[in-house]
């Protein structure tokens, strides 16, 4: 079969937090801009331009990825979870509850990325050690908290998350 013709506009269909969206976009449109500007989901933040800070972390088919380093067109057909999707039926996710209880945020700018990296971490490892938690969030920079309370927040979430909840199986 012939290969597709290189195009300068591409149709993208993504499911974000359970809702389907279709748009025609430039290939160079970064996923983070698509989420923030086209879908008005501004909870995912931009903190750098060299893929170092992790503020833009989202889950793509359950995998934590830097949405600033993905093109929107690459997310075609994927299921994306952003911070806006963590709360379910008015109930905070145990990780969100943990950040609240343990003072795991101050300015809040790195928090969405941290929450999603933490969610992915707990899905792969339901009872991480402190060292594993620190390693698990080492792709997410925070300038305010010094990380101590973020670790505690994730431990709080881990303690209250059932294994099924961790991997996203609804009860």
Partner 1 sequence: MTETVPQIRGLGHSVKRKEDPRFLRGKGNYIDDLKLPGMLYMDIVRSPYPHARIVGIDASEALKVPGVAAVVTGKDLEAAGLAWMPTLMSDTQMVLPTDHVVYQSQEVAVVVATSRYAAADGVTAVNVEYEPLPPVIDPIKALEPDAPLVRPDKEKQSNHIWHWEVGDRAATEEALNSADVVVEQDIYIPRIHVASIETCGCVASFDRISGKLTIWMTTQAPHAIRTVFSLVSKIPEHKIRVISPDIGGGFGGKVPVYPGYVCAVVAALTTGKPVKWIEDRSENLQADSFARDYHIHAELGADRSGKMRGLRIKTIADHGAADAAANPSKFPAGLFSIVTGSYDMPQAYVEVDGVYTNKPPGGVAYRCSFRVTEAVHTIERMVDTLALKLDMDPADLRMKNFIQPEQFPYKSVLGWEYDSGNYPAALQKALDRIGYQELRREQSEKRARGELMGIGISTFTEIVGAGPSHTFDILGIKMFDSAEIRVHPTGSAIVRIGVQTQGQGHETTFAQIVAEELGLPVENIEVEHGDTDTAPYGLGTYASRSTPTAGAATAIAARKIRDKAAHLAAHLLECSVDDLEWKDYRFQVKGAPERSKSMPELAFAAYTNHPLGMEAGLEAVTYYDPPNLTFPFGAYICVVDIDRGTGEVHVRRFVAIDDCGTVINPMIVEGQVHGGLTMGLAPALYEQIWYDDDGNMHGGTLMDYLVPTAVETPNWETDRTVTPSPHHPIGAKGVGESATVGAPPAIVNAVVDALSHLGVTHVDIPMTPPRIWRILQEKGVALASS
Partner 2 sequence: MIPAAFKYAAPTTVQQAVELLSNNQDAKVLAGGHSLVPLMKLRLATPPVLVDINRIPDLNYIREDSQLAKLRIGALARHNDFEQSALIRDRYPLLWDTARGIGDPLVRNRGTMAGAVAHGDPAADWSAALLALDGEVVATGPSGTRVVPLTELYVAILTTSLQPNELITEVRVPLPAPRSGGAYEKLERKVGDYAVVGVAAQVVLADGGSIAHAGIGLCNAASTSVKARQAEAFLVGKAAAPDNVNEAARLAMEASDPIEDDRGPVDYKRAMVRELTRRALARALERARGGAA
Q: Provide the binding-site residues for partner 1, judged by CB under 8 A.
A: 26, 28-29, 33, 36-37, 40-50, 52-53, 55, 82-84, 86-87, 92, 96, 99-101, 103, 105-112, 115, 130, 133-135, 137-151
State which residue, 141 or 144, has the beta carbon closest to partner 2: 141
Grouping H, G, I as helix, E, B as strand and the rest as coil, residue 57 is strand
Grouping H, G, I as helix, E, B as strand and the rest as coil, residue 21 is strand
Phi, psi of 30 (to 5 degrees): -75, 145
Nearest Cα neighbor of 45 from 116, 147, 102 is 116
* Pairing outcome for strands 57-60 and 10-16: unpaired
Per CB under 8 A, does 10 bind partner 2? yes
**Region near partner 2 per CB under 8 A, out of 34-42, 56-64, 83-91, 148-156:** 56-64
The correct pick among 11, 13, 42, 63 for binding partner 2 (CB under 8 A) is: 63
Q: Are 96 and 87 in contact (CB under 8 A)?
A: yes
**Those residues with Cβ within 8 angstroms of residue 2's Cβ, 6 or more apart along the chain or in another chain:** none
What is the closest distance, in whole angstroms, from the C-beta atom of residue 171 to partner 2 in the complex?
Answer: 26
**Region near partner 2 per CB under 8 A, out of 7-15, 16-24, 95-103, 152-160:** 7-15
Rounded distance, CA 97 to CA 24, Å? 37
State which residue, 86 or 161, has the beta carbon closest to partner 1: 86
Name the binder of 142 from partner 1, partner 2, none, CB < 5-8 A by kind: partner 1
- Two structure tokens written together for 102: 């343990």
Rounded distance, CA 54 to CA 65, Å? 8
What is the closest distance, in whole angstroms, from the C-beta atom of residue 156 to partner 1 in the complex?
Answer: 12
Q: Are 82 and 43 in contact (CB under 8 A)?
A: yes
Binding site for partner 2 (CB under 8 A): 1-8, 10, 26-28, 30, 49-52, 54, 57, 63-66, 68-71, 73-74, 76, 117, 121, 135-140
């Amino acid at each position: 079969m012939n290969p597709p013709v290189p195009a300068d506009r591409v149709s993208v269909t993504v499911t974000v937090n359970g809702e389907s969206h279709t748009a025609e976009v430039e290939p160079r449109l970064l996923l983070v801009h698509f989420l923030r500007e086209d879908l008005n989901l501004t909870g995912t933040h931009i903190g750098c331009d060299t893929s170092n800070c992790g503020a833009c972390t989202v889950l793509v088919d359950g995998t934590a990825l830097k949405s600033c380093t993905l093109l929107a067109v690459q997310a075609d057909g994927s299921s994306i979870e952003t911070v806006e999707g963590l709360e379910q039926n008015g109930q905070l996710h145990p990780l969100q509850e943990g950040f609240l209880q343990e003072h795991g945020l101050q300015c809040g700018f790195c928090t969405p990325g941290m929450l999603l990296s933490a969610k992915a971490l707990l899905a792969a490892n339901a009872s991480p050690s402190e060292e594993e938690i620190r390693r698990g969030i080492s792709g997410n920079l925070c300038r305010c908290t010094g990380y101590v309370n973020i670790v505690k927040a994730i431990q709080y979430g881990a303690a209250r998350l059932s294994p099924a909840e961790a991997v996203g199986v609804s009860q």
